[in-house]
Amino acid sequence: MFASLSDRLSATFSSLRGKGRLSEADISATVAEIRRALLDADVAVPAVRAFTAAVRERAASAEVSSSLNPAQQIVKIVHEQLIEILGGASRELNLAKRPPTVIMLAGLQGAGKTTLAGKLGSWLKEQGHAPLLVASDLQRPNAVNQLEVVGRQAGVSVWAPERGNGVGDPVQVARSGVEHAREKLYDVVVVDTAGRLGVDAEMMQQAADIRDAVSPDEILFVLDAMIGQDAVTTAQAFADGVGFTGVVLSKLDGDARGGAALSVRTVTGAPVLFASTGEKLRDFERFHPDRMASRILDMGDVLTLIEQAEKAFDEDQAADLANKMAGDGDFTLQDFLQQMQQLKKLGPMKKMLEMLPGMGQMREQLENFDESEVTRIEAMVQSMTPAERSNPKIINGSRRSRIARGSGTTVTEINGLLERFEQAKTMMRSMAASGGRGMPGMPGA
């Protein structure tokens, strides 16, 4: 799924690795490459335009984060914009306050509506609902039969028209199905409707009549993702003709490019609720834009890592330290300890960081970093009085012995700590003076 888009995007990102700063030309080249990748993935032009504009603006507006290098910042921005274009937060099914909830399925013939009805029925059952599937597709010769088959597989009841009465009236079947659900206490009704091979006025009218007869709580437009952004044109026709409250992407398993998935929200404004990913009942999932975006970037782990790095290197804390140095220079042992603790938080990620190109400076520091050292420093600092912590100059010989005893260390170690603290202080001061951002260096760590 989306393999080629994933490859193209990661190639774009890797060309940024090792860059200390992104020039305007870098940003333009990156945005142009992303645009080409999206167009090749068959994403609709308005969606591509919105996407690239947002990436360009955010990349240029220097959303600087002290813990991320430029390549990582671009990954983060692209990830967030992918979530946005896929619909933002995932959307729950809208359930009626007074059951039964009525869900109507609409879409072209072959889009996957009947298959979806079975999947939805099975899923609803798992969620503790009592669903009823209603066979209002009287157009396709075998549709009623097919719905009965999937209903049986899913262990879900099906309401079908009496046989042998000629063609039958799909509106009447839908209405009587909902009545039946109300009487028999089914709490969700899924109405399968007829499609055509192409958009046609008669089909739209029938769907609109069913809609008016059963007042659905949700009208789900089932969209065959395999036909790419052409599907989106169909979606627009349905939006105008019948209207819908949400989209189901079907056959996402056969969609190598991702055009429909990435276009449908921008073009129709409707959220995607579910994805169908195969012919079997279990090939069905709720659609989560954030997870989908991570899948497209094929880098869930990297994104988690970026989040953790951001958490560990709290920007406010870093800025606070820098301000201290720029101001009256009251960088204390407490601050020093805090720095060390930030590094320690990254310790468990050392292995992962090693796999990542572009983590240069931070990786080097971590390689030389001994976690047990932080525990000892914690003990030493905790054995100091508040006055000693904020003004280490008063720590004379007898104070050193007391601190060593209290922390189970030696005077030599206390001397070592105070020396490193002084070095860090000098370094902090020069960093603050140069207005430099980024993680404070850890001399001797």
Letter string b/e over residues 210-238, b meaning 16 or more CB atoms within 10 A of that residue's CB: bbebbebbbbbbbbbbbbbbebbebbeeb
Query: Residue 278, interface with ligand GDP (CB under 6 A)?
Result: yes
Residue 252 beta carbon to ligand GDP: minimum distance, rounded to whole angstroms: 6
Query: Residue 254, interface with ligand GDP (CB under 6 A)?
Result: yes
Query: Residue 250, interface with ligand GDP (CB under 6 A)?
Result: yes
Residue 251 beta carbon to ligand GDP: minimum distance, rounded to whole angstroms: 4
Question: Do 148 and 155 form a contact (C-beta atoms < 8 A)?
Answer: no
Q: Which is nearer to ligand GDP, 154 or 432 (CB)?
A: 154
Coil vs helix vs strand at 393: helix
- Among the listed ranges 231-239, 274-282, 376-384, 393-401, the one in contact with ligand GDP (CB under 6 A) is 274-282
Alpha helices in 41-169 (DSSP H): 45-60, 70-85, 113-126, 143-154
Tell the burial category of 9 from Cβ atoms under 10 Å away from its Cβ (0-12, 13-18, 19+).
buried
Q: Which is nearer to ligand GDP, 133 or 418 (CB)?
A: 133
The two three-digit tokens of residue 251, written as one number: 């056959």
Residue 359 beta carbon to ligand GDP: minimum distance, rounded to whole angstroms: 39
Query: Residue 57, interface with ligand GDP (CB under 6 A)?
Result: no
The two three-digit tokens of residue 156, written as one number: 């879900």
- Among the listed ranges 37-45, 68-76, 246-254, 263-271, the one in contact with ligand GDP (CB under 6 A) is 246-254
The two three-digit tokens of residue 177, written as one number: 């199905």
Residue 128 annotated in ligand binding:
no
- Among the listed ranges 20-28, 250-258, 261-269, 305-313, the one in contact with ligand GDP (CB under 6 A) is 250-258
Tell the burial category of 402 from Cβ atoms under 10 Å away from its Cβ (0-12, 13-18, 19+).
middle
How far is the C-alpha of 89 from the C-alpha of 18, rounded, in Å? Answer: 33
Residue 276 beta carbon to ligand GDP: minimum distance, rounded to whole angstroms: 3
Q: Which is nearer to ligand GDP, 188 or 227 (CB)?
A: 227
Would you give the binding string for ligand GDP spanning residues 107-146, x where CB under 6 A is met?
x-xxxxxxx------------------------x------
Question: Do 253 and 283 form a contact (C-beta atoms < 8 A)?
Answer: yes
Residue 66 beta carbon to ligand GDP: minimum distance, rounded to whole angstroms: 44
Residue 276 annotated in ligand binding:
no
Residue 108 beta carbon to ligand GDP: minimum distance, rounded to whole angstroms: 7
240: left (phi over 0), alpha (psi -120 to 50) or beta: alpha
- Among the listed ranges 245-253, 309-317, 329-337, 345-353, the one in contact with ligand GDP (CB under 6 A) is 245-253
347 Cβ contact list (under 8 Å, min separation 6):
366, 369, 371
Query: Residue 170, interface with ligand GDP (CB under 6 A)?
Result: no
Q: Please choose, from the candidates 16, 45, 42, the residue with its C-alpha nearest in 3D space to the C-alpha of residue 29.
A: 16
Question: Do 107 and 223 form a contact (C-beta atoms < 8 A)?
Answer: yes
- # residues contacting ligand GDP (CB under 6 A): 19
Q: Which is nearer to ligand GDP, 169 or 253 (CB)?
A: 253
Question: Do 293 and 6 form a contact (C-beta atoms < 8 A)?
Answer: no
- Among the listed ranges 106-114, 229-237, 352-360, 406-414, the one in contact with ligand GDP (CB under 6 A) is 106-114
Query: Residue 277, interface with ligand GDP (CB under 6 A)?
Result: yes
Residue 196 annotated in ligand binding:
yes
Residue 255 annotated in ligand binding:
no
Residue 197 beta carbon to ligand GDP: minimum distance, rounded to whole angstroms: 10
Question: Do 278 and 62 form a contact (C-beta atoms < 8 A)?
Answer: no
Q: Are strands 218-224 and 272-276 parallel, antiparallel or unpaired?
A: unpaired
Letter string b/e over residues 141-152, b meaning 16 or more CB atoms within 10 A of that residue's CB: eebbebbbebbe
Query: What is the radius of gyration, based on Cα positions, of the chain?
Result: 30
Query: Residue 195, interface with ligand GDP (CB under 6 A)?
Result: yes
Query: Residue 228, interface with ligand GDP (CB under 6 A)?
Result: no
- Among the listed ranges 249-257, 266-274, 393-401, 421-429, the one in contact with ligand GDP (CB under 6 A) is 249-257
Q: Single out the residue of 26, 33, 80, 253 in contact with ligand GDP (rule: CB under 6 A).
A: 253
Residue 209 annotated in ligand binding:
no
The two three-digit tokens of residue 315, written as one number: 């920007």
272: left (phi over 0), alpha (psi -120 to 50) or beta: beta
Q: Single out the residue of 279, 315, 320, 354 in contact with ligand GDP (rule: CB under 6 A).
A: 279
Question: Do 236 and 44 form a contact (C-beta atoms < 8 A)?
Answer: no
- Among the listed ranges 42-50, 270-278, 368-376, 383-391, the one in contact with ligand GDP (CB under 6 A) is 270-278
Q: Of all helices (H) and strands (E), which one includes residue 324?
A: helix 315-326
User: Would you list which residues are annotated within the binding site for GTP?
Assistant: 107-114, 192-196, 250-253
Summarize as ranges the residues that interact with ligand GDP (CB under 6 A).
107, 109-115, 140, 195, 250-251, 253-254, 276-279, 283
User: Would you list which residues are annotated within the binding site?
Assistant: 107-114, 192-196, 250-253
